[in-house]
Amino acid sequence: MVEQTYKDIYNKFHDELLGNSPEVLNSVREEAFEVFERMGFPTMDQERYRRSNIPSLFEPEYGVNIKHLMVPINGQPFRCEVPGLHTYTFYVVNDVFASDVNKEEYNALKEKGVIFGSLKTIAEEHPELVKKYYAKIAPHKSEAVIAFNTTFAQDGFFVYVPKNVTIEKPIQLINVMHADFDFLANSRNLIILDEGAEAKVIVCDHSEKDRKFLSNRVTEIYIGKNARYSHHKMVDSARATTSIGGVYIKQMEGSTSNISDIVLNAGFVRNDVHIDLAEKYAETTLCGVCIGDEHDHIDNDTFIEHSASNCKSTELFKYILDDCAVGSFAGRILVDQDSQKTEAYQSNKNICSSTHAKMYTKPQLVIYADDVKCSHGATVGQIDDGALFYLRSRGISEKEAKMLLKLAFTNDIIEKIDIEALRNRIKVLVEKRFRGEQHRCTICNSCK
């Protein structure tokens, strides 16, 4: 069994792992290991993982960074910039936080009381703050993949935004898989917005070619009362990379969140998103665009829980699959018994451009309250022949017409990205992706 390999690693290097990690992270490590030891990796017999063979993803003999070592970087190959966008930029290389590149620029954040940087360092310097939120939202007691991450994670990104503080510029977190050997990275992010705070975070996932990488990243996000938060993630990795990601969000009274997930290029992607609208008048918008071809595999599992009254959720995911790509979407919305005046809308729309592409979709809506407005639905089809004929009758080639229809198909989701420069950049990257051109960031050496 593949689990035994990692059990042996943990038992052999237990003391070294604890010695390299802060007490806050260690406080739940043994408990998480016991959960993983008991449950093992989820199999395809389990409903939520019917389309993702998780144990097989961990079978290769990856290197595991027990010593918390930074893989050397020559020069600055991982610039990931968007024209017209100015951000506070941070890096996680594999599973180790890398120092920010312009310390002077961040003094203004520190003056506002914002705490940011390495999760490992912050847990050592502010243990009570981290302890209050770490491993409280992501369910490591019931989810084996999260338990595995909690068992081995030693570092990642941390940010705390104090009460009524607004971060004017977006925060950009660049995750890079970089090594001369096959590598498994377990990293952990913790983002906390206090009451009335506002922040926007951009996450870029990249990897180098020619190596097998597995990134297992868990992000916990706490959004306080009346806080405003945006989280936009873009996956643009080499096909040899396997990405397993989990985003777990808890929203308090009157808070809002805008969450988007754009998969431009990746070999195997499994995303879990769990949003708990824990108090009244909380709102969330959750969207995704997934583009796959060749033998790509893109699996999204989402869960929005309406735990309080007068909350609203809007969810929309779209896939465009070509060649032998496989897509899967399982979206669950739960409206609890006391969650009256709920509004919940879910839609999954998909285009299979090839007869060999496969799309599996399972929207789910469970309602225990009686005063609600809810809907859900899914469609799978091909490019509309009527629309294609209309464009071709105007002198547009078939290839160009299909590209334009695909762009139009994704546009409503991309328009929900509330950072203009990022929105414009993603439109360009999506168009290049459909044209079959080099769609990666042109100034990011790791993507060339």
* pLDDT, tens digit (0-9, with 9 covering 90-100), for 124-174: 999 999 999 999 999 999 999 999 999 999 999 999 999 999 999 999 999
Q: What is the mean pLDDT of the chain?
A: 93
**pLDDT(70) > 80:** yes
Query: Which residues neighbour 200 within 8 Å (Cβ) at sequence distance 6 or greater?
Result: 167, 170, 171, 229, 230, 231, 232, 418, 419
What is the C-alpha separation between 298 and 268, in angstroms, rounded? 6
Three-class SS state of 25: helix
- Tell me the CA distances in angstroms from 401 to 251, 387, 396, 434, one per residue in order: 42, 9, 6, 11
What is the C-alpha separation between 181 and 244, in angstroms, rounded? 19
Instruction: Please choose, from the candidates 243, 309, 252, 298, the residue with its C-alpha nearest in 3D space to the C-alpha of residue 275.
Output: 252
Q: Return the ∠ at Cα 442 (arms to 438 and 443), rounded to 5°.
A: 160
**What is the tens place of the pLDDT at every residue in 404-420?**
999 999 999 999 999 99
Higher pLDDT, 306 or 436: 306
Identity of residue 313: S
**pLDDT of res. 180:** 87
Per-residue tokens: 83: 């024209």
Per-residue tokens: 187: 């990293």
Q: What percent of the chain has pLDDT over 70?
A: 94
**pLDDT of res. 71:** 77
Global confidence as pTM: 0.95
Q: Return the ∠ at Cα 346 (arms to 345 and 348), rounded to 5°.
A: 155
Mean pLDDT value across residues 304-330: 98
**pLDDT(269) > 90:** yes
- Cα 342 to chain centroid distance, Å, stands at 26
**pLDDT of res. 382:** 93
Query: Which residues neighbour 24 within 8 Å (Cβ) at sequence distance 6 or greater?
Result: 123, 127, 130, 131, 134
What is the C-alpha separation between 338 and 315, in angstroms, rounded? 22
Instruction: Please choose, from the candidates 67, 56, 94, 265, the residue with its C-alpha nearest in 3D space to the C-alpha of residue 184.
Output: 94
Tell me which residue has tokens 């989701």. Answer: 413
A 10 A CB-CB count for 230 gives: 21
**pLDDT of res. 61:** 87
Q: What are phi and psi of 361, to 5 degrees?
A: -135, 140
**What is the tens place of the pLDDT at every residue in 203-260?**
999 998 778 999 999 999 999 999 999 999 999 999 999 999 999 999 999 999 999 9
Cα four-point dihedral sign 171, 275, 49, 349? negative
Per-residue tokens: 196: 């009335």
Per the DSSP assignment, residues forming a β-bridge with 277 are 251, 306
Identity of residue 411: N
**What is the tens place of the pLDDT at every residue in 38-61?**
999 999 999 999 999 999 999 998
**What is the tens place of the pLDDT at every residue in 90-135?**
999 999 998 755 677 788 899 999 999 999 999 999 999 999 999 9
**pLDDT of res. 1:** 82
Q: What are phi and psi of 73, to 5 degrees?
A: -120, 130
